[in-house]
Amino acid sequence: MIQEVAPEIVDIYNIREDESEEQSIKTGRLHGSRILGIMLKYYFEGKKKVTTRDVEFEYKKYFKEIARSTISTYLNMLKSENTLYKERDGRVVYYLLSENPPEDISSFWFTRLFCIDPIYFERAIYFASLYSIADKIIQEYEIKEEKDKIIFNFKYLVGIITLYILKNRAIKCLTCQFGKQDRYQDLIEILDLAIKDRADVLSDDLLIKLSNNFSEIPTFGGVNIKEEENEKSMITTLLEFASMYKKDIEFQTMVLGRRSDIKRLQELELKNETLNSNEEKALE
């Protein structure tokens, strides 16, 4: 999906650089933070009881794989700190958050405890799935007029939401005690440019709703898309936006096309200049 929406970021959008992991310092806190980030993701999916196997499965999706015994060690460490508690069902041990995740808290303090990678990337994956089934959504919601246009606009808006999700994630990573701040700052600037190219002539009201309501996680005021009624309402709203702002989106895509053409010409000119320079050097 990123290749279609913003090909210029396809190699960098999911970058993660943690100094602690590279330098092998404070790795205990790093692993604990990541495990709590996985617990957070499960929590908002409605799965509040989690096994060691569950954590292991998710951990290797987002981070460098570690042994199950290591995960078990850190789960028990978090239990001893009263951050988690245990429940048993026969031979199965479940871990639960001792308290609900905090709300109305600054990202600086939130990322001291929770790694936000799992929940933001899971949100991006969810919207990527909407992008891939846009035509089926149009059918299910019985859109009758200008189907192709509504499908295009729906996908366009979902693409912008996904870019905002990636930016929101990078902003939180910037405040993380384990991350390389300069690397995430660079990523934010690149994502800002990608969003600007695709949204700078769209309505401010529309962009605020896309960036705050749909692109943020529930902790920071976003819609909990894992709740069925919220999901239906969100999709309905996006379809309404796809119709309401169709002229704006049409104009935005025209502007984006012109920018892409200019960029290609500039790259071609630079390539030709380099080739000419090399030829001149070869003749000297």
More confident residue, 156 or 20: 156
Indicate the residue type of 159.
G
Three-state SS for 230? helix
pLDDT in tens, 160-184: 999 999 999 999 999 888 888 888 9
What φ, ψ does residue 116 adopt, rounded to 5°?
Answer: -95, 0
pLDDT for 196 beyond 60: yes
The 3-class SS string of 79-132 reads: HHCCCEEEEEECCEEEEEECCCCCCCCCHHHHHHHCCCHHHHHHHHHHHHHHHH
The Cα 202–Cα 251 span in angstroms is 9
Q: What is the pLDDT of residue 282?
A: 56
pLDDT in tens, 91-147: 999 999 999 998 778 888 899 899 999 999 999 999 999 999 999 999 998 888 889
Q: What is the pLDDT of residue 279?
A: 56
CATH number of 20-97: 1.10.10.10
pLDDT in tens, 25-46: 567 788 999 999 999 999 999 9
Average pLDDT of the chain to the nearest whole number: 89
**CA within 13 Å, CB half, 55:** 30
Q: What is the pLDDT of residue 138?
A: 92
The residues spanned by each domain of the chain are 20-97, 104-250
pLDDT tier, 150 (very low <50, low <70, confident <90, very high otherwise): very high
Three-state SS for 262? helix
Token pair in block for residue 159? 């693409």
Q: Are 178 and 27 in contact (CB under 8 A)?
A: no
